Amino acid sequence: MYRRLLVAVLVVLAGCGAAVPGGGEQTPSETATAAPVPTTTPAPTPDPVVYPPGLADDGVNATALAAATRASLSGTEFALQYDRREARPEPSLGAVYVGPRVQVRAGAPDRYVVNRSLVTERGGGLSIETFRNATYVNGSRATTLTRNGTETSAAGPDAEGVPSRLAGSLVARYLAVETAEVTVFENGTALVQGEGGGPANASDYSVTAVVAPDGTVLRLDALYVENDRVQFATVRIEGATFEPPGWAPNGTNATA
């Protein structure tokens, strides 16, 4: 009986890895080596996108953008051209596009010229521009040119700063959109693609604009429907050297 009990105990101990008397020298078990932990360098955190004033990744603050455009242009030499067209059916040509053109060249807030004309564009690239009037402001004096000649008078109380205010008002009008996608490029310039909103009574409105890092709107192209007619508007702003118009007193081509 005791012999059977001893054998049972030895069997249990052998199963637990114990040395069995008379079983010879025990072979030590191998120590497990931990697998190397892979090390990776975390990706650098990208620099945050810097948006021009009045812009965000998903929207446009037209009021802030207009203020930035106005402030950046004030006191600088620049040229602005604003065009607006309305599609009008014409049986022989399909459609003509008619609307105003305003051209501004500014040398200072109180020294600038504004030209106004009516443009008719037809198929085949034909464009007819009809002069309406022009005004040259030089300090406290304003000279107006019409088809009847020139007339000089005192500049009005609101004459100073007209060019930059006009730029700001156009931005406020055409970039007041409901939704927008804004892309900022490496040089800080932003592309705006907006939809909805726009001028009063407009529908199917869409607009694209290029904005400088300081918030100046450099170009703008809007397309919409108003009064059941397709309309489009464009704005172009760029730096330019100012010279008085030749028809104005002391102009480059003026004669005594």
Q: Which two tokens stand for residue 227?
A: 């009064």
The answer to whether the beta carbons of residues 206 and 220 sit under 8 Å apart is no
pLDDT tens for 158-173 read: 999 999 999 999 999 9
Residue 256, pLDDT score: 38
Q: Above 70 in pLDDT, residue 11?
A: no
Residue, of 78 and 48, whose pLDDT is higher: 78
> In whole angstroms, what is the distance from residue 192 CA to residue 225 CA?
20
Count of alpha carbons within 13 Å of 217, Cβ hemisphere only? 38
pLDDT tens for 55-100 read: 998 899 999 999 999 999 999 999 999 999 999 988 876 789 999 9
Q: Above 50 in pLDDT, residue 17?
A: no
51-67 burial, b at 16+ Cβ within 10 Å, e below that, comes to bbbbbeeebbebebbbb
Q: Above 80 in pLDDT, residue 43?
A: no
Residue, of 86 and 23, whose pLDDT is higher: 86
pLDDT grade, residue 18 (50/70/90)? very low
Q: Give the residue among 218, 256, 254, 214 at the shortest CA–CA distance from 235.
A: 218
Q: Above 60 in pLDDT, residue 14?
A: no
- Average pLDDT of the chain? 86
> In whole angstroms, what is the distance from residue 49 CA to residue 8 CA?
77
Q: Above 60 in pLDDT, residue 175?
A: yes
> In whole angstroms, what is the distance from residue 179 CA to residue 169 CA?
20
Residue 111, pLDDT score: 98
Handedness of CA 160, 163, 164, 165 (dihedral sign): positive
The answer to whether the beta carbons of residues 151 and 144 sit under 8 Å apart is yes
> In whole angstroms, what is the distance from residue 52 CA to residue 47 CA?
15
pLDDT tens for 136-148 read: 999 999 999 999 9
The answer to whether the beta carbons of residues 193 and 131 sit under 8 Å apart is no
> In whole angstroms, what is the distance from residue 12 CA to residue 244 CA?
112
Q: Above 90 in pLDDT, residue 186?
A: yes
Q: Above 90 in pLDDT, residue 47?
A: no
Overall average pLDDT of the 109-120 stretch: 98
